[in-house]
Amino acid sequence: MGRRPHEVLECRHYDLPPHFPILLITGEDWRISDVPSGVLHFHNQIEIGLCESDSGCLSLQSTSHRFHAGDVTFISGDVAHTTWSDPGTASKWSYLFVDAEELLRPFFPMEALPNAGLFRQLLSGTFAMVRPEEAPRIRALVNAMMDELTNQGLNYEISVRGLFLTFMTEMMRLLSARGTTASPRSMGIGPALNYINEHYMEEFSIGDLADLCGMSQSHFRALFRSAMGIGPLEQVNRTRIQKACSLLRMTDSSVLVISELVGYRTLSSFNRHFSAEMGVSPSEWRRAAGNSRMTPILKYSGWLTPPKQIRGEP
């Protein structure tokens, strides 16, 4: 099902450092306006929000939810949403953006996790608002991750990975107890985005992706480009290149091996797409950036400081 005609979707994309793919956004600037923006947005990673003051409304494509100070929100990357505060207030928030699979990879691959299927369900089509009285440990874990990322003490990266795994376990338990892990409605192209993220190394067609979303190919192409700003094949290539950057940074595998691992049949095709996306060849990127643990894959294109005219959520 596509968007309703009056809806506008905006993709806000954060590219996270490959060696430690989690980003904290916090501070006094992150106060949400009391004026509804009228624009729904989604992200390319999990968003975890902590409301620190006041109250307001968080709206999905078909439902709205009241929030209050102390609430934690969990929104997977394919769920479109927007937030505004009660009249005359400006609620303060802190946010975490996380690539769950890559953050935990140094500990173990996703398939090695007990209940990996339930874990993966949280990565697509999931919205949850958690009241502090319902699950105080969840808020404590979010606070602990934010404190570690702010203070960056000894072994803080290991600590954050462990805290995040515990947080996800608590979310699985909570949503299982509620009897649901799905949002009332995720955006129409969500199944395709999830499939691309999980099967980017395989061969599949636009028709396959359209079928997953229950659309004709022409409608799917139009909706995908409207939401993402690029076509589905471009999204596949972008995903492959981002995964390749992680492998170039974190492994000693050859460029040829990495090209095959991310789904390219020829090295020349991989080099061409990599250069188009990154501006340099894979070997040049590895020499210039791959040996620096502080180098992100791409420049941030999400909001690190809220625009003055909006003062809304990231």
185 within domain boundaries: no
CATH of the domain at 28: 2.60.120.280
Q: What is the DSSP secondary-structure string of 99-159?
A: -HHHHHTTT--GGGSTTHHHHHHTTSS-EEEE-TTT-HHHHHHHHHHHHHHHH--TTHHHH
300 within domain boundaries: no
Q: Do both 173 and 203 map to the same domain?
A: no
Q: How far apart are CA 182 and CA 52, in angstroms?
A: 26
236 within domain boundaries: yes
Q: Do both 119 and 48 map to the same domain?
A: yes
310 within domain boundaries: no
Q: Do both 66 and 124 map to the same domain?
A: yes
305 within domain boundaries: no
Query: Which of these three, 178, 208, 224, is where a domain ends?
Result: 178
Q: Do both 91 and 143 map to the same domain?
A: yes
Q: Which domain holds residue 227?
A: 190-290
Q: Do both 171 and 268 map to the same domain?
A: no
198 within domain boundaries: yes
62 within domain boundaries: yes
Sign of CA pseudo-dihedral 148, 150, 156, 157: positive
Q: Do both 173 and 209 map to the same domain?
A: no
Q: Do both 195 and 217 map to the same domain?
A: yes
Query: Which of these three, 157, 178, 199, is where a domain ends?
Result: 178
CATH of the domain at 221: 1.10.10.60
Q: How far apart are CA 106 and CA 72, in angstroms?
A: 27
Q: Do both 108 and 30 map to the same domain?
A: yes
Q: Walk along the chain (314 residues) and give the pLDDT tens digit of each residue.
A: 333 333 456 777 777 887 899 999 999 888 999 998 777 888 878 999 999 999 999 998 778 999 999 999 999 887 888 999 999 999 999 999 999 988 998 887 777 777 877 787 788 778 999 999 999 999 999 999 999 999 999 999 999 999 999 999 999 999 888 875 444 344 578 788 878 878 899 999 999 999 988 899 999 998 888 777 789 999 899 889 878 887 887 677 899 999 999 999 999 999 999 998 888 899 988 876 544 433 332 333 455 455 554 445 66
Sequence-separated contacts (24+) of 174-181 with Cβ below 8 Å: 174/128, 174/130, 174/134, 174/135, 174/138, 175/122, 175/126, 175/128, 176/118, 181/118, 181/121, 181/122, 181/126
The count of domains in the chain is: 2
Q: Do both 107 and 233 map to the same domain?
A: no
Q: Do both 156 and 196 map to the same domain?
A: no
The pLDDT of residue 8 is 53
309 within domain boundaries: no
Strand partners, 93: 51
Q: Do both 25 and 174 map to the same domain?
A: yes
Q: Do both 92 and 202 map to the same domain?
A: no
Query: Which of these three, 143, 178, 213, is where a domain ends?
Result: 178
Specify the amino acid at residue 208: D
The pLDDT of residue 300 is 30
